[in-house]
Structure 1
Amino acid sequence: MRVGIFGAGIAGLAVAWFLRDDADVCVHEASVGVGGLARSFKWHGFDCDLAPHRFLTHDEELLRQVLALVPMRRLERRSGIRLRGHWIRDPVNIFEVLYRFAPLESARIVWHYVVRRRQREDSFEALVLNNYGKGLHDLFFKPYSEKLFGIPANEISPSWGRRKIRVSGLRDLVRRDPRLYFEHFYYPVENGYGAIAERLYADVRTRVHLHSRLVGLAPLSSGGYECRFETPTGVVSDRFDVVVSTLPMPELGALLGFHIPLRFRPMTLLYLLVGVDSVSDRHWTYFADRDVIVNRVAEFRHFNANPPRGKTVICCEVTDAQQFSVERVIDELTGADFLPAGVPILDTKIIRLERAYPIYDRSYDEQIDLARQAFAAHPGIFHIGRQAQFVHKDVDEILEEAKALASVMRPGSGRWPHVAP
């Protein structure tokens, strides 16, 4: 069986790795490197990611497989939220929120939760109001989500909330012990999170074609697909029995002749080399207020096993491209008491990701259903990954799905489901 895989990000490499002994696998990657959004690079002695990822899976077999491939450290998660001039822990502890804020604001949170009225959950705003009330909605959920997607909360799909809000209401926030909630994660000892992708690549390197962009895809009457790839030496063709796509869903749909009007939110990553040992004790820091353009900051010192002394690197994520500037980010972090006033900024680096987040607008569910119907006519195409399935997924989820997909694709499995986007 010949399997064509489009994309050598973590999803494509993982599928190739799991199928390496069971199929004739061929991976085509448009760029000159592998890893996609899960790649890493070295900068001023630090291993840096495209915003740090964490690895944590409940699949014990997968965990053993990954740890056997890549040496990792088990780290205790440290993250926090800056909200209206206060620092609170992440995950949110409702008692801490009520304690941190003025009695009137705290009373408003409780009151709006008690008197909330059930409404149709046709938006993210409605979902949050139903589960938390207007107080927490206005304080935290609305400003952060609007900043992330660039659209009003009442235009965001409720699917975003159902996927990312891990508790169903205020009662769960009260009952939950945040110390036991995502309390640890795994991270490579060397070479950043990209070490995972690089290790997978090492085992399938001879089957990966870099600088090879898919430009044509046509089903064959005899079964399978004929694919055309643009390479530095010209356009080449190849045939596969089945294909696995990690390409953005709208891009693959266009090659098959149908339009999928789903959009991605770009993100700017600003890396700052700061002339101090550390600026915080946290791995991640979230900035929830709408008037702060920074979404999240990560400090790589706390991920690296042996970081350099006397300096640190932070990565600032910004989805509001129109308001972005290096000076504004530095001013905001200083004003939020995150960066010490007058601290030396020794160097800066900017990376722009064009497709960082799928935008969950209110048409999301309808468009996904229409896409699934269109792709159902192509049962020989499998979809995996954040961009191909147009859903926000972490790397551990993608690895779990790659493992499951490979298991049904192996000869003799007797199962050939259409893996819908």
Structure 2
Amino acid sequence: MDMKAGVAAGEITADVAIIGAGPAGLTAGYLLAKAGKKVVIIEKDAHYVGGISRTVEHEGYRFDIGGHRFFSKSQAVVDLWNEILPDDFIQRPRMSRIYYEGKFYSYPLRAFEALRNLGLWRSSLCMLSYLQYKLFPIREVKSFEDWTTNQFGKKLYSIFFKTYTEKVWGMPCNEMSADWAAQRIKGLSLWGAVVDGVKRSLGLNKRPNDGQAVKTLLETFRYPRLGPGMMWDAARDRIVEMGGQVIMGHGLKQLADDGQGGWRMTATGPDGDIVIRADHAISSAPMRELAARLHPLPATTLEASQLKYRDFLTVALMICSEDLFPDNWIYIHDSQVQVGRVQNFRSWSPEMVPDQSIACVGLEYFCFEGDGLWSSTDEALIEQAKREMAILGLCDPADVVGGAVVRQEKAYPVYDEDYAANVAAMRAELEERFPSLHLVGRNGMHRYNNQDHAMMTAMLTVENILAGQRVYDTWCVNEDAEYHEAGDEGEQAKLPAREAAITPDQAAALASVRDVPTRVSDGEKGAPRKAA
């Protein structure tokens, strides 16, 4: 179909119009432009591309929003990274730990080390609590709290699982599904760790003492020297060089079916609206927002409107001090403070911090848009971050010489009890009614995937557009939670199998969702919780 005929004056024409300049949108735009297609991308942020993978700059200091290791099992993704940014990757050491009451604990947790750090009295109480629940377990295991208490006892559960988990997800552990706990906490055996620890102390065991059978974690990872935004700035520039357009500061106002299989996209910005006509539309916008702006409105708009998101913000502090800790980030397991993680930006890349005498850290707060944290002023948040760093003993507030706040809305799609049915309903309707509309990325598909998975959904979408038919099922991109933690880079040398070649077992494996907690159903919340 030729969209160039009958276009009104002032309208922009394109082969493909793309909503959102995050990893998925820019990957699609780059590959389509490379294939000779005219692309136009709209991005509501006036300053940054990259979405949650952007790098924000403040007075020469650069902040990674969430932390992004550049590692993928997909060779196609690795090759694309190298093609877009061939000369600016550096190799960085990987280190993440848990912080609790002034001490650091390995992450993933090593049970014997944890008991040693807790001291004789507290570790004895932990072991007694562990033995209590082994002898008298909770019989009707419904929640994350039930499952974890049975595995480790109430004491260790409260120290190493409850506080941080509730900070991240914004709901009580006794309302989170036990299935998620079983998926998330794999192979860790407290008793096995203790036995191994005793053998190790006697010189009878030289194995790493962690009490668990897990794959070796990555010891190093690649990272753009100026942060992940460097990758997406380069992708944007390459798209423009190839004749595409990236229009900043313009959000989607309406995406209208033109009745001929194509699209009329209206984007609004500070100087008014622009209109883009295109054969295909690719959306990485949140499904909830897309449904409300489609014309005609989908019959599943109500289902899409019920999709929920978890937001977060980063408070960056510039501190007159040497680096405070060597970790990329540390997890804060302390109920005295609201901060969930603290990043050390120099540990990601020395070039993120311009002054060698200044340490720059980012305190991450998990919240919901509109709640007390989100609505606080930047000044109040910076003061809170300074107080909490002092409570944790990580720095003296008097040494803080600057600060900045970065808010990230819709960072994590929420997997509540209704999300899967709501997503499936909208997906089915859009695929049937609008075959030239393609959903990609984390929010575009309401799937809690990683950066490389978001890219892969875009790569397969481009293959489908260029082929003129649905060759690949983009919803079968794997979202394994261990994807960034273990295995060899580029071990998956090929694109996922074409739809016709996927067996039911393969499809089930590919469609596995990344571990995210779901709520215990209303009928289960009132179930008895007896430890006898």
User: What's the TM-score bracket when you normalise by the shorter of the two chains?
Assistant: 0.7 to 0.9
Deviations 1:329-375 (A, max 9, x none): 22222222322x46511011122223233233344334334443444
Residue in structure 2 matched with residue 313 of structure 1 by the alignment:
360
For 1:103-114, list aligned pairs within 5 A: 103-109=124-130, 111-112=132-133
3-state SS, counterpart of residue 15 of structure 1: helix
Which residue identity lines up with residue 223 of structure 2 in the other structure?
Answer: Y
Q: 1:192 aligns with which of 227, 232, 239?
A: 227
Deviation at 1:315, TM superposition (A): 0.6
State how 1:168-183 maps to structure 2 within 5 Å: 170=189, 174-176=211-213, 180-183=216-219
- In structure 2, the residue matched to 1:208 is 246
> Which is further off, 128-137 or 389-398?
128-137
SS in 2 for 1:67: helix
Cα distance, 1:82 vs structure 2: 1.4
In structure 1, C-alpha distance between the alignment counterparts of 2:256 and 2:106, rounded to whole Å: 51
1:253-332 mapped onto 2 (5 Å cutoff): 253-256=291-294, 257=297, 258-259=301-302, 260=304, 261-306=306-351, 307=353, 308-320=355-367, 322=372, 325-332=381-388
Q: TM-score, normalised by structure 2?
A: 0.70
| Shift in Å, 1:409 | 2.8
The residue identity in structure 2 corresponding to 1:203 is: R
Call closer, same or farther: CA 1:162–1:360 in 2, change over 3 Å: farther
Q: Tell me how far apart the structure 1 counterparts of residues 211 and 345 of structure 2 sit (CA, whole Å).
A: 32
Give the superposition deviation at 1:118.
6.7
Which residue number in structure 2 is paired with residue 251 of structure 1? Answer: 289
Counterpart of 2:511 in structure 1 is none
Residue 99 (structure 1) aligned to one of 113, 116, 119: 116
* Code of the aligned partner of 1:56: F
Note the alpha carbon deviations across 1:195-217, whole angstroms, 9 max, x for none: 01111111112322223322112
1:110 is displaced (CA, Å) by 5.7
**Distance in 2 (alpha carbons) for counterparts of 1:245 and 1:328:** 37
Partner of 2:392: 336
Aligned to 2:67: 52
Flag the 1:19–1:116 CA change in 2: closer, same or farther, 3 A: farther
- 1:155 is matched with 175
> Max radius of gyration: which structure?
2
Q: What residue is the counterpart of 2:486 in the other structure?
A: none
Structure 1 residues without counterparts, runs of 5 or longer: none
State whether residues 99 and 106 of structure 1, in contact with CA within 8 Å, keep that contact through their aligned partners in structure 2. no
State the alpha-carbon separation in 2 of the partners of residues 302 and 79 from structure 1: 11
Q: Which runs of 5+ in 2 are unaligned?
A: 2-14, 194-209, 478-532
State yes or no: 1:409 paired with 2:430: no
Select 2:405's aligned residue among 346, 350, 354: 350
Q: Deviations 1:370-394 (Å, cap 9, x if unpaired)?
A: 4434444433322222222223332
Is residue 126–residue 153 contact of structure 2 (8 Å, CA) maintained in 1?
A: no
- CA offset at residue 297 of structure 1? 0.7
Cα distance in 2 for partners of 1:404, 1:303 equals 30
Instruction: Pick closer, same or farther for the CA change 1:134–1:281 going to 2, 3 Å.
Output: same
Residues 138, 146 of structure 2: 8 Å contact kept: no
Count of residue pairs the alignment pairs up: 416
Q: Supply the AA of the counterpart residue of 1:98.
A: L
> Which letter does structure 1 place at the counterpart of 2:25?
G
Contact 2:307 2:419 in 1 (8 A): yes
Aligned CA-pair RMSD: 3.1
The residue type equivalent to 1:143 in the other structure is: T
- What is the CA–CA distance in structure 2 between the aligned matches of 1:63 and 1:98, rounded to whole Å? 40
On the 8 A contact 2:312/2:366 being kept in 1, the answer is: yes
Aligned to 1:142: 162
Are 1:14 and 2:27 matched, yes or no? Answer: yes
